[in-house]
Amino acid sequence: MDILFAVLYAVMIGFYNVCKKLSLQKSHSSAVLALFSTTAFICSLLWLPFGVIVPWNLFGILFLKGFLIAVSWFFILKILKNVDLTIVTVTDVLSAGLSFVLGMLLFGETASWLQIVGAVLVVLSVVAINLCSRHSQGSAHKLQILGLLFSAMISTTCSVFDKYTTTYLTPYQVQFWFLFSVCVFAWLFFGVECLRNKTYLIKKQDFGNLWIYLAGFLLFLGDFFLFQAYKVPGSKMIVISILAKLKVIIAVLVGILIMKEKQIGRKIFFTGTVILGAILLSVF
């Protein structure tokens, strides 16, 4: 069941990333972050009847995760506005390789030699796609890639938090307080951006940007499946974290078919090697 939940998460988050990209065409990145995180949190209110009270020490971990994710998304949205959707999504796969290592070191998880080959294949494929990609802004592209790598590090840290917190809490508790904290920090960052730009960044038309609300709903669904995957007895972070990155399939297909992105052949080839690596992880 953990594999099924991880794949469902990948599908939901794959389309979530597409909706984020489309929402940025009409709205400011800070407004998008504030509105879609609020939408996701409102959806999580469904879990109130299941009980969401958590110990203070675990609440602190969830709040810290919310802060880290909000910081990551803040920069990701700014980068996503100017680069290919495929590059943002595939670079994120790097966090899976790091999660693989931490899963073994921190939680004593084990992997067969074929699973290790799969993890290495995923990471090398990510590096290859970054090397093959080109961006019109030249040196700015390198800074954007560094930002994406920083986001990957945050994602890895949060995978550790997810594995730890779901050991002691229900998926409903974890998701509710995570989305609550993300929402709080998203609005704080929004306020800072408004002060910095000396204008209110949410316009009237932003409330009619349906891509924002769809992104929030898909985020809610995706995280629900992710936390369910971690809660399955015997589930491994080293497997879930990499299977979750199959969201790259959605990004590549949409990027090629709808957004007419470039470097099609290379992206398809290395995305195929990412999938192959994921198969080695899940089957063996």
Letter for the amino acid at 116?
I
- Measured CA to CA, the distance from residue 199 to residue 146 in angstroms comes to 29
- Measured CA to CA, the distance from residue 210 to residue 207 in angstroms comes to 8
pTM: 0.85
Whole-number pLDDT of residue 138: 41
Residues 6 or more apart whose Cβ sits within 8 Å of residue 2: 229, 230, 232, 234, 235, 236, 239, 240
pLDDT tens-digit readout, 74-119: 888 887 776 666 566 555 666 777 787 888 888 888 878 888 888 7
Instruction: Give the chain's radius of gyration (CA, Å).
Output: 18
pLDDT tens-digit readout, 221-259: 999 999 999 999 988 888 888 788 777 777 777 767 776
